[in-house]
Amino acid sequence: MNLLTVFMQAPAPMGGGNMMWFVLIGMFVIMYFFMIRPQNKKQKEINNFRKSLQVNQQVVTAGGIFGTIKEITDTYVVVEVANNVRIKIDKNSIFADSTAVNNQPK
């Protein structure tokens, strides 16, 4: 048999084209319910927390700084970290309420 005739032969038809689509759709559904949806839910909770910030509330920044809110604007928050030591930070870097962080089981 000539090598050229081997390469020129048509490949055998492959079945299961519909099954491939079911697998792809199934993978997307699994990714949505186990990765995308929980992340969106968590992001909504964080945004709601940041909208409900109040003066004299104890918070933790994303950098791990504990402090008490002294002033709130649309874009930044003034946090007192010690007596008469105040820092201005971006509102998006507020991570959590410090009482929630302190009450976590170890």
At 59 the pLDDT is 92
Work out the mean pLDDT of the chain and round it to a whole number.
Answer: 83
> Quick check: 10 pLDDT over 80?
no
Q: Any idea which residue has 């002033």 for tokens?
A: 71
Mean pLDDT value across residues 13-18:
66
Q: What phi and psi values does residue 6 have, to the nearest 5 degrees?
A: -65, -45
- 16-68 residue pLDDT tens: 678 888 889 999 999 999 999 999 999 899 889 889 999 999 999 988 899 99
Selected residue with higher pLDDT from 34 and 11: 34
> Quick check: 13 pLDDT over 80?
no
pLDDT winner (highest mean) among 9-13, 24-28, 99-103: 24-28
